[in-house]
Amino acid sequence: MRVTSLEEASAALRAASSQGRRVRIGDDIDTTGLDRILEHEAGDLTCTVEAGIRLSALNAALARHGQRLSLDPPGDPTVGACLAGNLSGPLRHRFGAPRDLVLGVTLVLADGTVANAGGKVVKNVAGYDLGKLVCGSRGRVALIARVSLRLHPLAPASATLVVDSDDAAAVTAALMASRLVPSALDVLHPGRVAVLFEGGRASVDAQLRAARDLVGGAEASGEVWREARARQGAARGRLRFSPGALREALSELDEAVARAAAGVAYVPHPTPDDTPTSVRLLQERVRERFDPAGTLA
């Protein structure tokens, strides 16, 4: 069922709950019809959108005002999918994951109840932080209907540095210990480190020179970021590691896209679920509180 309004989403879940049916958000209930930009406060660098809008459509509209949502996961997911799957890309190095950019949400709970939490400004203390709770929930807690988001200005200039090295961990450590402020820093294992600088032209040029003096390398096109996202999207597994243990993590891998600041590596082979048992039990308790009847599959 494709829903096109908050009321339709609420009615669909209310019916499923009353009939004892299990539904999977994204399959049984398709939210791509919820695709409007509801508000854009350019002066505050915030917007409120329906969760079915795709990143490409949102950023195309924001670009007309010199702004963007700094999420760049593989493909072109919806905003709701980004939150539900906790999706991010190379820009996570500087701008964080979805939970760092969400200000408020409107959710439809499993019984059809509509709940609002958070606000529309960067600093708010309105209600429980359900926005962060649903990040990574994979549709098991509630249907994400609307999202208020923090935005960033479009950078007037950018430059990418690629460093070929047999010791990517040392290159990464030197860059992270420096005063440089890259927007993205990916290890394309084996053998390369990619660094993205954004900002004013003079600032970007200065950072690029400083980075080359520090670790060498050569300026490259933005194609390397398309490669990084493609490899991430094709990955069949994900490994977590301590940000200080990049060398140890890479030593056990033949191929990966690693983000040291996030402590995550995307790999081409399946990986076991490394979520601690205590965390899984807590997740199930949270899901049971929000969906005691088990309506959300």
Q: Are both 12 and 121 inside the same structural domain? A: yes
pLDDT the model gives residue 110: 96
CA distance 210 to 192: 18
Q: Which of 153, 177, 193 is the last residue of a domain?
A: 153
pLDDT surpasses 90 at 118: no
- Regarding whether 92 and 111 lie in a shared domain, the answer is yes
296, 141 in Cβ contact below 8 A? Answer: yes
Same domain as 246, residue 178: yes
In a domain, 282, yes or no: no
Residue 14: pLDDT above 70?
yes
- Tell me, what's the pLDDT at 243? 81
CATH number of the domain enclosing 118 = 3.30.465.10
> Do residues 68 and 175 both lie within one domain?
no
Strands (E), 19-118: 37-41, 46-50, 67-68, 102-108, 114-118
Looking up tokens 């400004």 gives: 121
Whether residues 141 and 41 fall in one domain? yes
Same domain, 70 and 16: yes
Contact partners, residue 13, CB within 8 Å, separation at least 6: 23, 29, 108, 109, 110, 111, 112, 143, 295
Instruction: Give a yes or no: residue 273 inside a domain.
Output: no
Instruction: Tell me if 149 sits within 8 A of 103, measured CB to CB.
Output: yes
Strands 264-267 and 256-259: antiparallel
Q: How confident is the model at residue 272 (pLDDT cuts 50, 70, 90)?
A: confident
Domain final position from 96, 122, 153? 153
CATH, residue 224: 3.30.70
Residues 72 and 173 occupy one common structural domain: no
Q: Which two tokens stand for residue 283?
A: 């997740």
Residue 250 and residue 169 share a domain: yes
Q: Could you read off the pLDDT of 171-196 as tens digits, one per residue?
A: 999 999 999 999 999 999 999 999 99
> Is 296 contained in some domain?
no
* Number of domains composing the chain: 2
Residue 124 has pLDDT above 90, yes or no: no
Pair (163, 196) in one structural domain:
yes
Percentage of the chain beyond pLDDT 90 is 91
Query: Which range of residues forms the domain containing residue 76?
Result: 6-153
Please identify, among 153, 186, 206, the residue that sits at the C-terminal boundary of a domain: 153
Looking at every residue in the chain, the average pLDDT score rounds to 94
